[in-house]
Chains A and B, each alone.
Chain A
Amino acid sequence: MTEYAIDIVNVTKRYAEHTAVRDLTLRVPTGSVYGLLGPNGAGKTTTIRMILNIIAPDSGTIHIFGQPSSDPKITERLGYLPEERGLYRKMQVKRVLKFLAELKGVKGSEADVRIDDWLERLSLKTPEKDWGLSKVDELSRGMQQKVQFIGTLLHDPDLVILDEPFSGLDPINAQALKDTVVELKKRGKTVIFSTHLMDNAERLCDSVCIIARGEKVLDGTVTGVKEEHGQRNIALALEGDGMQGIASILRDHSLVKRADDSNRFFEIELVPGGDPQTLLRRIVESGASVQRFEMIQPSLHEIFLQKVGAAGIEEGMTGHG
């Protein structure tokens, strides 16, 4: 088995109006869960499309499991869930799934067995009702998402690529997706997904890459990124109405570099050389009742804000990449 599931070296993709991806180098270790993070227009979808050989890079190379991404055989080892999802509306669910499986080189008879298995697993086929026999547009949105997900995994791909998989998912399906990602990893599969939801990325990913404006901002393992890119931050929670009293302390830029206010919870980054003990003393002196004061690693969210800027993440909230 090769070390890298995806090996992108110095890839550039230009369009008439702009450069979508500039000199991107990115390696996804085999068997890992990898997050591709970035705001709107950062080049995430372009990168994913190049990995899938839907579009070709202008320069640079892409290898999947050691093979050039243009190798037709390699596509059968990839599973792809596009960002905005849909299926042939008028087609029967089983026929859609069989079609998708056949495109990935699965034989018809084998596909039938797997489809039934998956439909049962995601409770789309119960003794009372077999949704596989219904037309796609008779299914609820949540059920259609499940069907789409089955279509991505039906041919048992070694590398699963999910473009914004959490956007538009209801909480139950989102949990099912997380469970499946974890299970895929246990089975030695590689999963790469793009997202702007840092919480999900932080909890699920082994490694991440943040890209903005077509360029890589940083990458590495989640732990490594945190250690490298954040001083130790302070998590602060107060009881009652103490918030007003400490506002002036948090605005003191001789001590506090930035504070992320989540109403009942603050994540505080001190200026270089700033002493956490000084901060704690001043907060206590202000009369606030401290519930939690903890040295923590910065969250991915924090690092993202710091590296890409607040504007970036707000654009990213639209879910396009």
Chain B
Amino acid sequence: MAKLWAIIKREYLERVRSKWFVIATLFGPIFFSAIIIVPAWLSSRSKATTDIYNTAILDATGNGFGHRLAVNIAVDTTIPGRMPEVRVIAPSALTQAESLATHQVMQKEKTGYVVVDQQTLAGEAARYAGRNATSIADMAQIKSAIRETILASRLEKVGLDNSRMKEITFIPLDFSTERITEKGRAGSGIASVMFGFAIGFLLYASIVIYGQTIMSGVLEEKTTRVAEVVMSSVPTDTLLAGKVLGVGAVGLTQQIIWIVTTYVLLKARAPIMARLGAPTMSFTLPDISLGAGIIFLLFFLFGFIFYSSLFAAVGSSVNSESEARQAASPLMIMIISTAVFIQPVLLNPTGTTARVLSLVPFSSPIIMPIRMAVIGIPPLELAASLGFLAIGCLVALWLASRIYRVGLLMYGKRPSMREMARWVSYSR
């Protein structure tokens, strides 16, 4: 026990002391605050860029549609310079007017131009061309201005007066979304998807990073022959367990630091946003009960043990970093193909794909916590997932310890799959 402790202590302290760990741990919260605060800040700014006021309206309708559209785009006509320029054009001269406008956009005199014609009056089509054509906020504003103008002309036709028209067409809708689970209301839908994504990303990243950390650690011990000295003092299973637990504790330490700082940042989000001058959106954190927290932790631990023991086996069977990268590729494919499913699972967390992937041991440690973040999971499904994962862990550990103790003493050629299978059958 004291020897296992010595190994865990060494693995833990040597890594926590490393510059890399300190940098990554500090970088985490900065990164998280960036993904939490920056998009909100950007979206608050991207309501409308001033670019859309410098557009030209090519009006080929012949009934003054362009002028009304200009007023609708400007919204507030008392501010100078907000009215788009209106060019009333005969339908036959439209091609020529468009090429002139295109030229002006190219010369950066104009941002872009809107073409309105008979089809627009009929509510069928309108066109925009300009440098800001990819800006979703700009296009949405122009599009809704055109809709409003069409609606207004139609209402005018049926005899509604101007003041009533504004009243009817003005709809400042604030559409908020909230999720409901078996336990009741559970915060905004976007928040839980973001939360699910964050959990998935965190699990994925820690498995990849710390799995490879273990792999190169094992490889270093093998190539420096430290492994032989250690093996002459403790059984190989103890060495393997010490490594997995020690490095696992490093990963857990880092995640706890990340989660706590992220939580604090989210709590302090309102004052930070206020200071940046951005409005705070309603954003309730999903409620995580203690029970759910423990289940998350179990998935992390089991997933970590599953992958890191296999990474350790790979590290013990090779002789150089480049061989290790090659030999680890089947494991990497398993993890990456799981990560590919994070988004589909988030979009359809009750689908067959999501259900199957949360039962298979190699994908369940990432997929199941994501599903748990967005929907309620029946206890039976949860138990089955954890059960299969636990069995997977035992199999992985058994396989890994057998490959590990033979591999550490084998130098020279990289073993084939068949040779590794034979190692498993060696007594010792």
- Write the residues of chain A forming the contact surface with B, with a CB cutoff of 8 angstroms: 16, 49, 52-56, 58, 72, 75-76, 78, 80, 82-91, 95, 99-100, 102-105, 151
Query: Contacts A86-B224, A86-B225; is A103 near B14 (CB within 8 Å)?
Result: no
| Neighbouring B residues of A88 by C-beta, 8 Å | 14, 220-221, 224, 226
Q: Which 4 A-B pairs have the closest CB atoms?
A: A86-B224, A102-B6, A103-B233, A52-B232
Tell whether, in the assembled complex, residue B232 and residue A80 are in contact, meaning their CB atoms are under 8 Å apart: yes
Report B215-229 CB contacts with A as 1/0, cut-off 8 Å: 000001101111011
Flag whether B131 is at the interface (Cβ < 8 A). Answer: no
Flag whether B134 is at the interface (Cβ < 8 A). Answer: no
Flag whether B422 is at the interface (Cβ < 8 A). Answer: yes
A187 CB, nearest partner CB in chain B, Å: 21
Flag whether B3 is at the interface (Cβ < 8 A). Answer: yes
Tell whether, in the assembled complex, residue A75 and residue B10 are in contact, meaning their CB atoms are under 8 Å apart: no
Query: Contacts A90-B14, A103-B233; is A84 near B3 (CB within 8 Å)?
Result: no
Q: How far is it, in angstroms, between the C-alpha of A175 and the C-alpha of B2 when the chains are bound?
A: 36
A122 CB, nearest partner CB in chain B, Å: 18
Tell whether, in the assembled complex, residue B229 and residue A80 are in contact, meaning their CB atoms are under 8 Å apart: yes
Tell whether, in the assembled complex, residue B224 and residue A102 are in contact, meaning their CB atoms are under 8 Å apart: no
A-B contact sample (4 more), CB < 8 A, given A16-B422, A75-B233, A103-B234: A82-B228, A88-B224, A88-B226, A102-B2
- Write the residues of chain B forming the contact surface with A, with a CB cutoff of 8 angstroms: 2-3, 6-7, 10, 14, 18, 220-221, 223-226, 228-235, 409, 422, 427-428
| Neighbouring B residues of A58 by C-beta, 8 Å | 427
Q: How far is it, in angstroms, between the C-alpha of A82 and the C-alpha of B223 when the chains are bound?
A: 12
Query: Contacts A16-B422, A88-B220, A103-B6; is A80 near B428 (CB within 8 Å)?
Result: no
Q: How far is it, in angstroms, between the C-alpha of A56 and the C-alpha of B428 when the chains are bound?
A: 6
Q: How far is it, in angstroms, between the C-alpha of A54 and the C-alpha of B225 when the chains are bound?
A: 13
| Neighbouring A residues of B7 by C-beta, 8 Å | 103
B217 CB, nearest partner CB in chain A, Å: 9
| Neighbouring B residues of A72 by C-beta, 8 Å | 235
| Neighbouring A residues of B226 by C-beta, 8 Å | 86-88
Q: List, sorted by A's number, 7 A–B pairs whose CB atoms are closer than 8 Å.
A: A83-B225, A88-B224, A89-B220, A89-B224, A99-B10, A105-B2, A105-B3
| Neighbouring B residues of A75 by C-beta, 8 Å | 232-234
Tell whether, in the assembled complex, residue A78 and residue B224 are in contact, meaning their CB atoms are under 8 Å apart: no
Q: How far is it, in angstroms, between the C-alpha of A58 and the C-alpha of B428 when the chains are bound?
A: 9
Tell whether, in the assembled complex, residue B428 and residue A55 are in contact, meaning their CB atoms are under 8 Å apart: yes
Q: How far is it, in angstroms, between the C-alpha of A101 and the C-alpha of B3 when the chains are bound?
A: 10
| Neighbouring B residues of A82 by C-beta, 8 Å | 225, 228-229
| Neighbouring B residues of A95 by C-beta, 8 Å | 10, 14
Q: How far is it, in angstroms, between the C-alpha of A72 and the C-alpha of B225 when the chains are bound?
A: 21
Tell whether, in the assembled complex, residue B224 and residue A87 are in contact, meaning their CB atoms are under 8 Å apart: yes
Q: How far is it, in angstroms, between the C-alpha of A197 and the C-alpha of B18 when the chains are bound?
A: 42
Chain A minimum-CB-distance residue to B13:
A95
Of B6, B223, B409, which is within 8 A of A86 by CB? Answer: B223
| Neighbouring A residues of B18 by C-beta, 8 Å | 90
Q: How far is it, in angstroms, between the C-alpha of A52 and the C-alpha of B234 when the chains are bound?
A: 10
Chain B minimum-CB-distance residue to A163:
B228
Q: How far is it, in angstroms, between the C-alpha of A54 and the C-alpha of B223 when the chains are bound?
A: 17
| Neighbouring B residues of A89 by C-beta, 8 Å | 220, 224
| Neighbouring A residues of B6 by C-beta, 8 Å | 99, 102-103
Q: How far is it, in angstroms, between the C-alpha of A84 and the C-alpha of B148 when the chains are bound?
A: 82
Query: Contacts A78-B232, A86-B224, A103-B6; is A55 near B422 (CB within 8 Å)?
Result: no
Chain A minimum-CB-distance residue to B14:
A91
Q: How far is it, in angstroms, between the C-alpha of A83 and the C-alpha of B411 when the chains are bound?
A: 13
A144 CB, nearest partner CB in chain B, Å: 10
Q: How far is it, in angstroms, between the C-alpha of A119 and the C-alpha of B67 when the chains are bound?
A: 91
| Neighbouring A residues of B3 by C-beta, 8 Å | 102-103, 105
Q: How far is it, in angstroms, between the C-alpha of A16 and the C-alpha of B231 when the chains are bound?
A: 22
Q: How far is it, in angstroms, between the C-alpha of A100 and the C-alpha of B10 when the chains are bound?
A: 10
Of B225, B409, B427, which is within 8 A of A85 by CB? Answer: B225
Of A76, A103, A105, which is within 8 A of B230 by CB? Answer: A103
| Neighbouring B residues of A78 by C-beta, 8 Å | 232
Q: How far is it, in angstroms, between the C-alpha of A56 and the C-alpha of B427 when the chains are bound?
A: 8
Tell whether, in the assembled complex, residue B409 and residue A49 are in contact, meaning their CB atoms are under 8 Å apart: yes
Of B14, B221, B232, which is within 8 A of A54 by CB? Answer: B232
B121 CB, nearest partner CB in chain A, Å: 75
| Neighbouring A residues of B233 by C-beta, 8 Å | 75-76, 100, 103-104
